[in-house]
Amino acid sequence: MIRGLMRHALTTRRGRLALLWLGAMCLLGVISLFAFSPNQRASAWDSSFLPPGAYEGRGVVRSIVAGSMTEGSRVVVDLRALATESARYPAMIDADHLTQLRSEIDQLAGETIDRPAAETLLLKYCADLGTKHPLGTDALGQDVLARLVHGARTALLVGFVAAGVAAVLGILIGMAMGLGGPLVESVLMRITEVVMSVPLLYVLVLAAGLLPRSTIVVMVIIGCLSWHGAARYVRAECKKLRHADFVEAARASGSARTRVALRHILPNAAAPVIVDTSFGAAGAILVEATLSFLGLGAGDAVSWGSLVKDATGGGAGFNWWLGVFPGAMMFATALSLVVLGELLRDALDPRSRATSASPWTYTAKA
């Protein structure tokens, strides 16, 4: 059945793009297990908030300029102190370049310049700028690209595990409500309504203060509070299917009640839950990112939400690369899961294709 659903998803361009993106995210998650550490700093110097394409040496240049500031100022650089401070970093500025730097400083009129001009002047004479950071660095000087790769593993792990837990609980509780007696159905329906009324984000914030901050806790809480939709759907399907002809035929042939439920009712009632699982995975990824954005995420994993939080940190305005790149990853991953869910829904219910067709499609009248 799943193979048939995947084959249907591959028949459309958006389905192929969605599967390609999710496959790429899974590959990044595997690479993050073996390749590099997300917490490795660019250098021991002030390399925080380096823009995309910046080199490691820019952090050293920033440290040199910071040590050359005039007393009581944050924007004015003493040129003589700049030349003296530059001599302490021979790995970045060798003797020949240092001589040229001092010669240009002597030619400048005045004894001070502003900070951006000082950084530009030093970058011109740096012999080795070190490693390049394609997507820049964050507030701690850590490479953004490395943290995006590790964040993909966290996002997919939380999304798929939380959605899987919700699907399993929803199927079990939904079958109990649909095939059990009136008392069982009434009690479980009241429990389902209580779970529906519990605010998920509030529980996650509360758990962050009372329980250890780990990915497992986040996955379990999201999964245990998101099963009500699948349970209600499975309940309705079970109540409809228990009087179907093939179910009555299985009972008449002497099959046990458990065998009828697991062999005949469950495959037909639980198959559409796969669609709900894809939507649930997208929602779980966004909830986890929201929690990390608030500073209450898992402390043992890298999250895209924590990168977005750093976009407005440091007192240096909006660092756009920390908002754009993680935000684009979240958007593309969630959109791919939603598109995949819509295609699986169309495969399970062909009648929905007419309602989900593009409003821009024009059909010529005879």
Mean pLDDT of all residues in 228-235: 90
- Residues 255 and 304 reside in one and the same domain: yes
Q: Please report, for the domain that includes residue 255, its CATH number.
A: 1.10.3720.10
In-domain check, residue 51: no
Return the pLDDT at 326: 92
Check: CB of residue 68 under 8 Å from CB of residue 121.
Answer: no
- Residues 244 and 312 reside in one and the same domain: yes
In-domain check, residue 334: yes
Return the pLDDT at 363: 45
- Residues 160 and 99 reside in one and the same domain: no
pLDDT for residue 38 is more than 70? no
Return the pLDDT at 285: 92
- CA-based nearest residue to 171, from 262, 244, 273, 268: 273
Return the pLDDT at 356: 47
CA distance 144 to 47: 12
- If one counts the domains in the chain, the total is 2
Residue 130's pLDDT band (boundaries 50, 70, 90)? low
- Residues 252 and 323 reside in one and the same domain: yes
pLDDT for residue 129 is more than 90? no
Those residues whose C-beta lies under 8 Å from the C-beta of residue 166, and which sit 6 or more positions away, are 222, 223, 224, 226, 227, 230, 277, 280
Question: Looking at 97, 130, 163, which one is the last position of a domain?
Answer: 130
In-domain check, residue 358: no
- Residues 192 and 294 reside in one and the same domain: yes
Return the pLDDT at 366: 41
Return the pLDDT at 259: 85
Which pLDDT tens digit goes with each residue over 144-189?
Answer: 888 888 889 899 999 999 999 999 999 999 999 988 888 998 999 9
Q: Which domain holds residue 270?
A: 2-37+144-353
- Residues 114 and 160 reside in one and the same domain: no
In-domain check, residue 291: yes
pLDDT for residue 290 is more than 70? yes
Return the pLDDT at 90: 66
- Residues 18 and 103 reside in one and the same domain: no
pLDDT for residue 260 is more than 70? yes
Return the pLDDT at 358: 44
pLDDT: which is higher, 188 or 110: 188
Question: Looking at 77, 97, 130, which one is the last position of a domain?
Answer: 130
In-domain check, residue 317: yes
pLDDT for residue 364 is more than 50? no
- Residues 159 and 282 reside in one and the same domain: yes
Residue 3's pLDDT band (boundaries 50, 70, 90)? low
- Residues 87 and 202 reside in one and the same domain: no
- Residues 170 and 303 reside in one and the same domain: yes
Question: Looking at 130, 152, 170, which one is the last position of a domain?
Answer: 130
Amino acid at 235: R
Those residues whose C-beta lies under 8 Å from the C-beta of residue 100, and which sit 6 or more positions away, are 125
In-domain check, residue 359: no
In-domain check, residue 135: no
pLDDT: which is higher, 355 or 181: 181
SS3 label, residue 266:
helix
In-domain check, residue 136: no
DSSP string covering 183-251:
HHHHHHHHHHHHHHHS-HHHHHHHHHHHS---HHHHHHHHHHTS-HHHHHHHHHHHHHHTTSHHHHHHH
Return the pLDDT at 359: 42
Amino acid at 17: L
pLDDT for residue 139 is more than 90? no
- Residues 112 and 161 reside in one and the same domain: no
- Residues 16 and 155 reside in one and the same domain: yes
Return the pLDDT at 195: 92
